[in-house]
Each structure stands twice: as structure tokens, then as C-alpha cells.
């Protein structure tokens, strides 16, 4: 059994770069603020989910270990959204994090252990990642709970 610790980038909390005019015109035609949000993420080179650990070569278990990130709109991106009523619901987004950690049995994907936690603190997320990486090793080195 090996675990791979993956890099998590929590350095940015804000979406600041606006979408290009051509893409914005298509969004307005499509009438979908979720598509706009995805484009803002791409333009700002951000992800909504960062995986922090993988479990390789374990006979019994598999894991999902991720941090979901919520971003706040600021700067030029915020001004662009404020000018378009269709996109204003995006301004309700507040920054924060959700740590999601699940251990499953490989044979039937039955949940063995699950942890979810929402926070606004980067430090708390980092502390939880360290603890959950240790939890993976502890669980996987045991045959039962």
C-alpha cells in the first residue's frame, strides 16, 4: 500500500479577472450563471476541488480526499458581474472551504468512514489535511475498525 500526498493550492480566495467579451456574449445568450462561474474559474486559473491524497495498491480500501473551494468575486470580475443582472447571483458566493474525506470498501464501494467539515480558515484546512493523511495510514493498516 502506498499513499500519494498531492499539492493543494489555497493561495487564492478571489476571482478577479473578467471574462472576455465574446465568451460573455455567449453566456448572456445561454442564460446560465453556472457556465459563467466555470468560465471565471478557467480565466482565473482556479479549481473548485483539490485532491490532497491518493491511495494506491490497497486490496481493501479506496479513498476520496479533497478540499472544495468557494471563491468570492472581486475587482474587475465583480464590476463585470454587477453590470449584468443575469450574473448577479454569483455575487452571493462567499469564500470558504469544505474538506471532504471518505474511505470506501473497494469491493462494493460501501462507506467505511466519512468526514466533512466547512470552514473559512486556511490554517484549519491545512491542519485537517495533515490529520486525515495520518487517518488514511491508520485505517489502511488495520483490517477492521
Helices (H), the chain: 21-30, 33-43, 75-82, 122-140
Burial level of 39, CB count in 10 A (0-12/13-18/19+)? middle
pLDDT, tens digit, for every residue of 80-129?
999 999 899 999 989 999 999 999 999 999 999 999 999 999 999 999 99
Determine the pLDDT at residue 96.
97
Determine the pLDDT at residue 14.
96
Reference 72, options 42, 41, 100; nearest CA is 41
Q: What is the pTM of this model?
A: 0.88
Cell of 2: 502506498
Query: What residues are paired with 89 via a beta bridge?
Result: none
pLDDT, tens digit, for every residue of 41-82?
999 999 999 999 999 888 899 999 999 999 999 999 999 999
Reference 58, options 114, 111, 2; nearest CA is 2
Indicate left, alpha or beta for 109 from its phi (over 0: left) and psi (-120 to 50: alpha): left
Q: Report the distance separating Cα 90 and Cα 95, nearest Å.
A: 12
Amino acid at each position: 500500500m502506498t499513499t500519494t500526498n498531492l499539492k493543494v493550492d489555497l493561495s487564492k480566495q478571489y476571482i478577479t479577472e473578467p471574462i472576455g467579451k465574446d465568451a460573455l456574449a455567449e453566456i448572456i445568450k445561454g442564460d446560465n450563471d453556472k457556465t459563467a462561474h466555470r468560465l471565471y474559474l478557467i480565466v482565473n486559473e482556479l479549481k473548485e476541488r483539490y485532491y490532497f491524497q491518493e491511495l494506491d495498491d490497497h486490496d481493501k480500501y479506496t479513498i476520496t480526499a479533497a478540499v472544495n473551494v468557494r471563491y468570492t468575486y472581486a475587482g474587475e470580475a465583480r464590476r463585470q458581474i454587477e453590470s449584468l443582472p443575469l450574473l448577479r447571483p454569483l455575487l452571493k458566493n462567499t469564500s470558504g472551504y469544505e474538506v471532504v474525506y471518505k474511505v470506501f470498501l473497494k469491493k462494493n464501494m460501501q462507506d467505511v468512514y466519512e468526514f466533512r467539515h466547512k470552514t473559512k480558515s486556511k490554517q484549519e484546512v491545512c491542519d485537517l489535511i495533515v490529520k486525515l493523511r495520518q487517518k488514511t495510514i491508520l485505517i489502511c493498516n488495520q483490517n477492521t475498525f
